[in-house]
Structures are given as structure tokens and as C-alpha cells.
Amino acid sequence: MSLPIITRRLIIRPFTAGDFEAIHAVWSDPAVMGAIPSHAYDREQSWSRLREKFRHQARHGFSKWAVAELASETVIGECGVHYLEDGPDIELGYKLARAYWGRGLAAEAAQACLNWVLAERPERLVAIVDPANTRSARILSKIGMVRDGTFSRFGHTWDFYVAIRRQTTLDSSGVQPPGRCSGGLYRPGGALAGLRHGCDQLPHLPGRA
């Protein structure tokens, strides 16, 4: 699967310098950043963050990417993957401007990026989400990621999700339909290791922390 990634309503592609104003509008919104939880960025912090994405893309061939409307090509947020704490896991993440919440666009972008990773990368794909961010947790569950305990850093604890390898054909909405699993869990061993083949019932998941 090559870049850009195109879904029914979105284009997902590497950032360019010309995207700065659009993505700064997202990163400087306290409501968007507070859900992480984080703080709103000033312009200097946004430039620093954007340069980090340029470097990650150049070094690894992937990063958090710009998400644009397919019809207008307007950048409305970000979605993609980067190494979590320098690896070996890669982390899925997404943020959209508030004006685009509630339309299923975050799930559409997240599903497309998950599909890209499972097709292109050998690493385990994970995601972390604040326990209070139930909207994001629903998105991760919708695209087939499974909670596997918690992840603690910098005095904060997030819920920890792991991707499961399965068929990744998208339906017309841009979201993967239910179907048979084809490769078991992304991670061998661990609490979820029982799901090797097929679509077995999920076991009880003990906490990571």
C-alpha cells in the first residue's frame, strides 16, 4: 500500500510545510489537546512538532500524517503511526479539528492507517488513550484494537490497546467490516496469545501495570 492513503472521504498523506496553519489550528485548540491529556500549543511548539514528523517520515518511511478532506483537500487533522518511545512498538494516534468531530472521520482515518501498518510493517501496533477519553476508546474498539492493560509514563496512566491481525478489506464507509481473523494477534505471547487462528472468544485481560 503506497501513500497517500485514500478512503471514501479522506486523503491521508505526509505533512508538508504548507500544512502548518491548518494543523496549528488543531494543536492550539485546548479542547482537542486536552483529551490526550496535553496542553494547547503555541506556534513555536507546533513548528517543533511538525519538524519531528518530517524527521520521523524521512528516517522510517512513516509518521503521523496529514488528514485532508477528499473533496476539498482541506487539512482537518492528523492520523498515523510513530515509534512509541523509540520502539520497538509503533503507536497509532489521531486528532481532528473540533468542527469535524461526530462524523465518523476519526474512525475512518484510524482504520485506514491500521490497515496500512498491518500491510506494510512487521512491528506490533499499539495505542494509548486516557481512561476519561471514552470517544477515542470507542474508536479503537470499533477498528478492532483490544485493551491489554495500562501504560504509565510521566506521572500519568493510559489504557493500552493492541492491534489484532485480521482481514482488512474496507466497506463503503471506509471502516473494516466484521470478518474472519486471518493471522492471530499482532504480538506473540502475553495476555492475548490465545487468539492464534480464527476468531476465538477474547479471554479475560489482566492489567499490564
Q: pLDDT tens, 45-91? A: 999 999 999 999 999 999 999 999 999 999 999 999 999 988 899 99
Q: Is residue 168 part of a domain?
A: no
What's the pLDDT tens digit per position in 148-205? 999 998 788 999 999 987 644 444 445 444 333 333 333 333 333 333 222 333 333 3
Q: How far apart are CA 194 and CA 168, in angstroms?
A: 21
Residue 67 domain-assigned?
Answer: yes
Q: How many CA atoms, within 13 angstroms, populate the side-chain half-sphere of residue 149?
A: 9
| Model confidence, pTM | 0.78
Domain of residue 55, CATH code: 3.40.630.30
For residue 174, tell me if it sits in a domain. no
- Residue 144 Rama label (left phi>0; alpha psi -120 to 50; beta): left
Per the domain annotation, does 144 fall within a domain? Answer: yes
Identify the domain containing residue 118 by its residue range: 5-162
Q: Are 121 and 107 in contact (CB under 8 A)?
A: no
- The one-character DSSP state at 63 is -
Residue 54 belongs to what H/E stretch?
A: helix 43-60
- On whether residue 197 sits in a domain, the answer given is no
